[in-house]
Chains A and B, each alone.
Chain A
Amino acid sequence: MDPSPETLLDLHRRMVRIRHFEEAAGRLAEQNRLPGFLHLYVGEEAVAAGVCANLDDDDQISSTHRGHGHLVAKGGDYSGMMAELMGKATGYCGGKGGSMHICDLDLGMLGANGIVGGGVPIAVGAGFANKYRGSDRVSVVFFGDGASNIGAFHEAANMAAALSLPVLFVCENNEYGEFTPRDRTMAITDVVDRAAGYGMPGAIVDGMDVVAVWEAANEAVSRARRGEGPSFIEAKTYRFYNHHGVQTLGMKYRSDDELEQWKQRDPIELFEDRLATAGVLDADGAQAAHDAAEADIEAAIAFAEESPLPDPDNLLVDVYTPAAYSGAIS
């Protein structure tokens, strides 16, 4: 299926919003204005955008330590995100979670995750709930190439296939797990090869091409909605920053040349060229999208900065839900 012009603009907007959020977060981290670890998604925007444009608010996703992009793509609110990154009371998790646990359950975003692979079984559980209720909702799990080496991924992939659950596995293969290249930790080149072992269809897509991602996800999501079970997409992509933090050049484990080559294929620039050629969005239109995102992010930063810190008296709040059976959920 070809994406409509509205879809194309939507894809552009989602990518631009991710980029501006991440660049702003990077700047704040450089100025020591964000506590904790920061894993930026810059370079990989086409994956989250292309997939999430096929989802509604009540479709679920589970995410990774590199999760801001997934939440933005799912419609996440900049202010709540920025406030969470700053550890403020107004943040998505009230300051208790931070970057690695950012979530929005109203948008079906079941959380970034500090444990590699931790989100994979959770998405499968969400898929089970969807099937159980007889709904046509689907769940999507985003995970890295590195995460495909952990047991939780393999158990969950097998289970999703065995139970024929409406789940889409999206592997963001950026060729590295932290500071170690993929070829030192697996003997295959394409993570998608693993899908066959679990009996689910798999496809490789160019993760820098948002339309390619959108098309592949569209097919897989439709298949899941029709009750035909899980599928697997491997998106070949690249992160433009270091594993965490904002360093770009001069890294021991990957060459500046390699980075430059990938940057030539910046997913947003590629797409903007294509949109201009197709007459869908010209340079001014694209700039307007960037300006709008930047204005929003500035407002979100101001909101976050002005927001109160969490009250230490709430330290022990939300460890448990008060015990009360509320009956079957209708």
Chain B
Amino acid sequence: MTPPADTDARRIAYGAAFTEGLAQMMDADPNVFVAGEDVGRAGGVFGSFRGLNERFGDMRVVDTPISEQAIVGLGTGAAVSGLRPVVDVMFMDFMLVAMDQIVNQAAKLKYMFGGKATLPMTITTSAGAGLSAAAQHSQSLEAMLCHIPGLKVVMPSNPYDAKGLLISCIRDDNPTVFVKHKRLLGLKGDVPEDLYEIPLGTAQVVRPGDDVTVVTYGRMVHEATSAADALAAEGIECDVIDLRSLQPLDMDTVVQSAQRTSRVAVVHEAVRFGGFGGEIASQIAEEAFDYLDAPIERVGAPFSPVPFSPVLEKEWVPNAEMIGERIRALAAA
């Protein structure tokens, strides 16, 4: 982890970038604290909170009971009382235990109170399949959250974005949900040492191309990019867009690309039916219908819980090969 001489960016892992962003926000703002299961002494089950308890103490890095509802409630109550909580829900699946506090309370307080409450809370969590963790430890539930007015949702695909988006989430005065992908935690990339923000609601073109627009986020950015690399050899150039933030959503970048390529595929790991891809597809249909040369393609997981056995799970999670096949067909349509 030695920084190159001419820049302050070092190659660090996605998980470490998250930790660094959080530590810097805690240094910068005494109102920022963290609470969650095993985040204190243990440093988090994925190591994402390592060293923070030693550094900031028990009052700012709080080991909580196994009580997701109370964890999110603690954040909500502390946020309306002037603190800036970061509360961790270990696996995204466990957010379902806290849904009342997230959906009925945190998301709505400001509006219900006629604007009187401010809720600068960040919920951090880890999603995604690919570890044979089975149906209750592998889900991607972002569509449920994006459906709720009042919440903001980000799903970074790389270390640089993980740090920048986390800082933006913590600085945001609304309840935000920061979703890591478990299989990206070890991914390394360039991350500047300084405190920087990535504005919520800004997508990024990660691979430019003129033939097909591929809209994706989270871990699927990598699968879509390798599919695009393979397709380039066949002369199909994909414009791969990493949404980074789902709510707010940068549709301008998506629509502009769609108007240029006339062909769009939306790719996510979550179950395809009722997934976030449906929202993107319908907005494209509303904004760029006349430009399209083919129906919008949606790639997502099949309509089943995440299976345990690796052979089944492999079939379940979209991968570069499946994505490539669908884009190839789309390009030919």
Residue numbers of A with Cβ under 8 A of B are 35-37, 87-88, 93, 95-98, 100-101, 113-118, 146-147, 149-152, 177-180, 184-186, 252-253, 309-310, 312, 314-316, 319
Nearest to A154 among chain B residues (CB) is B67
One digit per residue, 1 when the CB lies within 8 angstroms of any chain A CB and 0 when it does not, for chain B 54-68 equals 000000000111111
Residue of A nearest to B70 (CB): A151
Q: Once the chains bind, are B66 and A309 in contact (CB under 8 Å)?
A: no
Please, what's the 1-or-0 string for B132-153, where 1 marks a CB less than 8 Å from any CB in chain A? 1111110000000000000000
Name B307's contact: one of A96, A100, A178 (CB within 8 Å).
Answer: A96
Give every chain B residue within 8 A of A185 (Cβ-Cβ).
63-66
Evaluate contact between A152 and B308: CB separation under 8 angstroms.
Answer: no
Stretch at the interface among B6-14, B35-43, B213-221, B284-292: B35-43
* Interface of B: prevailing SS: loop
Asked whether B195 is an interface residue with its Cβ less than 8 Å from the other chain, the reply is no
Q: How far is the CA of A36 from the CA of B133 in the complex (A)?
A: 5
CB pair A146 B93 closer than 8 Å: no
Q: How far is the CA of A115 from the CA of B69 in the complex (A)?
A: 13
Contact in complex: B304, A184 (CB < 8 Å): no
Q: Are B37 and A101 in contact (CB under 8 A)?
A: no
Q: Tell me whether B131 is interfacial, beta carbon within 8 Å.
A: yes
**A residues near B45, Cβ cutoff 8 Å:** 178-179
Taken together as a complex, chains A and B put the C-alpha atoms of A41 and B132 apart, in Å, by 20
CB pair A96 B312 closer than 8 Å: yes
Most chain A CB within a 10 A radius of its CB, from B131, B137, B302: B137
A35 to B314, CA, bound (A): 13
A87–B93 Cα distance when bound, in Å, is 21
A-B contact pairs, 10 of them (CB 8 A): A97-B134, A100-B133, A117-B97, A149-B65, A178-B37, A180-B42, A314-B312, A315-B304, A316-B304, A319-B303
Known A101-B134, A184-B63; further 12 A-B contacts with Cβ < 8 A: A87-B309, A95-B308, A97-B135, A114-B135, A115-B97, A116-B66, A146-B66, A150-B68, A178-B37, A184-B41, A310-B312, A319-B305
Chain A residues with CB under 8 A of B94 = 115
Q: Is B329 an interface residue (CB 8 A)?
A: no
Residues on B lying within 8 angstroms of A by beta carbon are 37-38, 40-42, 45, 63-70, 93-94, 97, 131-137, 302-305, 307-312, 315-316
The answer on a CB contact under 8 Å between A37 and B66 is: no
What's the minimum C-beta distance from A131 to chain B, rounded to whole angstroms? Answer: 27
Chain B's nearest CB lies how many Å from the CB of A31? 16
| B40 pairs with A87, CB closer than 8 A | no
- Say which residue of B37, B93, B131, B307 sits within 8 Å of A315 (CB atoms): B307
Closest to A182 in B: B65
A101/B307 in contact, CB under 8 A: no
Neighbouring B residues of A37 by C-beta, 8 Å? 133, 137
B304, A319: Cβ atoms closer than 8 Å: yes
B311, A36: Cβ atoms under 8 Å?
no
- Given B93, B135, B305, B311, which contacts A310 in the complex, CB threshold below 8 Å? B311
Chain B residues within 8 Å of A152, by CB: 97
| Cα–Cα, bound, A147→B66 (Å) | 7
Least distance between A14 CB and chain B CB atoms (Å): 26
Task: A35 to B310: give the CA distance in the assembly, Å.
Answer: 7
> Cα distance A51–B93 when bound, in Å?
31
4 closest A-B pairs (Cβ-Cβ)?
A: A87-B309, A98-B308, A114-B136, A95-B309
What are the residues of chain A within 8 A of B70 when measuring CB–CB? 151
Contact A35/B67 with A96-B307, A115-B97, A184-B41 known, Cβ cut-off 8 Å: no
Q: Is the CB–CB distance between B41 and A180 below 8 Å?
A: yes
CB-based nearest A residue for B67: A149
Instruction: Specify which of B37, B97, B309 is in contact with A309 (CB 8 Å cutoff).
Output: B309
Known: A96-B307, A310-B309. A316 touches B302 (CB 8 A): yes
- A88→B309 contact, CB < 8 A: yes
A180 and B94 alpha carbons, distance in the complex (Å): 18
A115 CB, min distance to chain B CBs, angstroms: 5
Cβ of B97 and Cβ of A114 under 8 Å apart?
no
Shortest C-beta distance, B170 to chain A (Å), equals: 24
- Chain B residues near A115: list those with CB within 8 A: 93-94, 97, 136
Closest to B308 in A: A98
Distance in Å from the Cβ of B104 to the closest Cβ of chain A? 14
Contact B302 A101 (CB under 8 A): no
Q: In the complex, what's the smallest C-beta–C-beta distance from A95 to chain B, in angstroms?
A: 4
What is the distance, in angstroms, from A68's C-beta to the closest C-beta of chain B? 14
- Residues of A with C-beta under 8 A to B64: 185
Contact between A150 and B66 (Cβ–Cβ < 8 Å)? Answer: yes
Residue A114 contacts which of B93, B307, B310 (CB distance < 8 angstroms)? B93
Set A96, A178, A186, A314: member contacting B42, Cβ < 8 A: A178
A180 touches B315 (CB 8 A): no
Q: Is the Cβ of B310 less than 8 Å from the Cβ of A177?
A: no
A179 touches B38 (CB 8 A): yes
Q: What separation, in Å, do the CA atoms of A177 and B45 have in the docked complex?
A: 12
How far apart are A163's CB and chain B's nearest CB, in angstroms? 23
Tell me whether A114 and B134 are in contact in the complex, defined as CB-CB below 8 angstroms, given that A96-B307, A309-B311 are known contacts: yes
Q: Are B311 and A312 in contact (CB under 8 A)?
A: yes
A319 closest partner in B (C-beta) = B304
Q: In this complex, what residue of B is CB-closest to A88?
A: B309
Inter-subunit contact A117/B41 (CB<8 Å):
no
Query: In the bound complex, do residue B68 and residue A114 qualify as a contact, i.e. CB atoms below 8 Å apart?
Result: no
The residue on A at minimum CB distance from B96 is: A115
Contact (A180, B38) CB under 8 Å given A150-B97, A319-B304: yes
**Are B311 and A177 touching (Cβ within 8 A)?**
no
How many angstroms between the C-alpha atoms of A252 and B315 in the bound complex?
38
Say how far B89's CB is from chain A's closest CB, in angstroms: 12
> Is the beta-carbon distance between A146 and B303 smaller than 8 angstroms?
no
Q: Are A316 and B303 in contact (CB under 8 A)?
A: yes
Residues of A within 8 A of B310 (CB): 35, 87
Q: Could you say which residues of chain A place their CB within 8 Å of the CB of B137?
A: 37, 100, 114
